Copies of this chain bind each other. A is one copy, B any other.
């Protein structure tokens, strides 16, 4: 019979600690999870053994036995552009305070990929999930239902959706901004949108602009629309296409700040004064807005508050202290320097 305990034991287990501290594994477990239920002297002995051995619990075993991982998951569309970074940061801060670990995955804006990520996070035992927007496969929601995983949608507010959400009204926010643009005399208004497929935020922002147009008796269908990928360069290219039209738009609404930054750059490239000859607006209010020149007028998104509240809600839901809720946050216009009156 070969020794079950070779000389160098690379990974100490609970049993090793127990042996060294001359107690049972149950006591060691208690020391770690409910220290007050163990006498001070025993505890000291156990903790010393833990130290000496460099013991760390095996996560898989722990999850298996306790049926709880103390892990939340978040699936965001992208890690680039720092769009979701600030909100996620706030989300994580709250979780860390409560001793839960955050696992982050990104889907690249692909619903199929997101479904896979959800599956993976569930399999890993995520206790709860943070999601962005409502658009996803039916199977994604089915899994969450089946496993009864608390989840909350952020970055969107839809009172009719049958799930918790903490977000803002993308449509209304863009409608408000569009109304302001109209108030400044603009009539030839164009729109650069992110791909709307599988992205309700993008879709609703376009709809918001159209509804504002319609509210003033203008034809929403007449608004030139460029739908393009999420990048600075795509924004620039889309702006270029838009400005080749005759007559030229006097205002270009962008579905997000990154596209707007691209548009702004292209305007300079074309020698167009912003906002003198053309106005440009963004959406999201990320740091980039203050970096570009002129600074970008945009819609402010309450990144940190969304993140914090989502964390609290998920924590409550997991603990059974909440059955979920729908929260509508404000997303006001952030005035900077790229929106001006329509040129004469």
Contacts and interface: CB of A to CB of B under 8 A. Distances in A.
Interface of A: 10-11, 54, 56-64, 69, 79-82, 85-86, 88-89, 101-105, 119-120, 122-125, 142-143, 146-148, 231-232, 261, 265, 268, 287-288, 290-293
Given A59-B60, A89-B80, A125-B60, A104 B101 contact: no
A89 B79 contact: yes
Contact of A80 (B57, B82, B101, B125): B82
B291 A123 contact: no
A54 B143 contact: yes
A123 B63 CA distance: 11
B125 A58 contact: yes
Contacts of A148: 10
A73 to B, nearest CB: 10
A333 to B, nearest CB: 22
Contacts of A142: 54
Given A58-B125, A124-B59, A287 B86 contact: no
A147 B54 CA distance: 10
Contact of A79 (B57, B82, B143, B231): B82
A17 to B, nearest CB: 15
20 contacts: A11-B147, A54-B143, A58-B64, A59-B125, A60-B60, A60-B69, A61-B64, A64-B64, A79-B79, A79-B82, A80-B82, A80-B85, A80-B86, A82-B82, A103-B103, A232-B291, A265-B290, A265-B291, A288-B291, A291-B291
Contacts of A105: 102
A341 B303 CA distance: 42
B56 A290 contact: no
A301 B8 CA distance: 41
A232 B293 contact: no
Contacts of A261: 291
Nearest to A102: B105
Given A10-B148, A80-B89, A60 B57 contact: no
A58 B119 CA distance: 11
A290 B143 CA distance: 42
A54 B146 contact: yes
Nearest to A126: B59
A81 B79 contact: no
A323 B81 CA distance: 36
Contacts of A64: 58, 60-61, 64
Contacts of A287: 80, 231-232
Contacts of A79: 79, 82, 85, 88-89, 104
Contacts of A146: 10-11, 54
A291 B61 CA distance: 49
A53 B328 CA distance: 37
Given A56-B123, A291-B291, 13 more contacts: A10-B147, A11-B147, A59-B60, A59-B63, A59-B125, A61-B64, A64-B64, A79-B82, A79-B88, A79-B104, A80-B82, A80-B89, A231-B287
